[in-house]
Amino acid sequence: MNITISIIVPTLHRKTSVLRLLGSLSSELDKKTTEIIIVEQGDNNESTYRKFVANEALSIRYFFLDDHNTAKAKNLGAKHAVGKYYIFYDDDVAVHKDAIKNMINNFQDSHVGAVGGRVITPGQQIEPNRSDVGRLSSWGAFSDGFSSNIRQNIDTLIGCNMGFRADVFRSIQGFDEQFTGAIREDSDLSLRVKRLGYNVIFDPSAVVTHLREPTGGGRKSEGRLAWNFHFFSNETYFFLKHCRKVYFPLFLVMKTEWALRCMFGFGREVSLRSMITPAAGIIDGIQKYRNLQKSYAYWR
């Protein structure tokens, strides 16, 4: 069997969502050239998945990870993948017709190292004319616009719908596992691909619907203060890796509203822990950056 595409799905406490995703994939795959890899971080649902895909004439490879870390889960899937191209889908998306084919077609251009697709989120405004999709400013501000209909070069992909050349992914050692939770590991990898000289492309013909399940997958419902700690830690770490440090005071000001939401709860828990979580996360992010050069060869 000549596998060329590896579809990697990290999942946490979302069995029903994974089954829905597999259902949307069943008519989109060339089953002779595509493999599906599920990396589960919560309850073990392997038997349920295998029963489902048997009925759909699909095959999966299944791995279990005790640690709840999206970057580690994605890297574990990629470690076992054999395709020339890796596609990463969140477990709560549904894949539209020809999304896989349209994404992979971009790699016919040897200058393209990574591709992100269009994301439609029910209940959110669709912005079909955005020409600034996935851009990063010098001071760490991100643009969104992933519902655009305009193909373009971008800075950062969105993690729920993205693909990479396998050799490029491996050459930069995959996702940085110092990113904890499920925040900014996708943007970090995108910029490292660009650093190698490859283009990162947004292709609106590779479409998914992102159903944004309210629970599971590292949502705030799994622990508000833990989510906030990871948020401040990862945002700080990402900024120090990729943005001009002269703007760090501005970066902190930009996070004021998030800090107040964490500290004072706005109807939720207010405690000593909620008060110190933003500062603790920022300090943790600074420490991650200090560890970077001694711990990660790709950054030297």
pLDDT, tens digit, for every residue of 189-245?
999 999 999 999 999 999 999 998 777 666 665 688 999 999 999 999 999 999 999
User: Which two three-digit tokens encode residue 275?
Assistant: 């008060």
Beta bridge partners of 89: 161
Query: pTM above 0.85?
Result: yes
Q: Which residue has the tokens 């600074």?
A: 286
Sequence-separated (6 or more) residues with CB below 8 Å from residue 132:
143, 145
Beta bridge partners of 164: 86, 114
| Positions of the chain with pLDDT under 70 | 1, 216-222, 266-268, 295-300
**What pLDDT, on the 0 to 100 scale, is given for residue 267?**
62
Burial class (CB in 10 A: 0-12, 13-18, 19+), 49: buried
- Dihedral sign computed on CA atoms, order 78, 211, 94, 64: positive
The domain ranges of the chain are: 5-210, 223-293
Q: Could you confirm whether domain 5-210 is CATH 3.90.550.10?
A: yes
**What pLDDT, on the 0 to 100 scale, is given for residue 220?**
63
User: Which two three-digit tokens encode residue 255?
Assistant: 């996070």
Please tell me whether residue 296 adopts helix, strand or coil conformation: coil
Phi–psi pair at 229, nearest 5 degrees: -60, -50
SS (H, E, C) 106-129: HHHCCCEEEEEEEEECCCCCCCCC
**What pLDDT, on the 0 to 100 scale, is given for residue 299?**
60
**What pLDDT, on the 0 to 100 scale, is given for residue 221?**
56
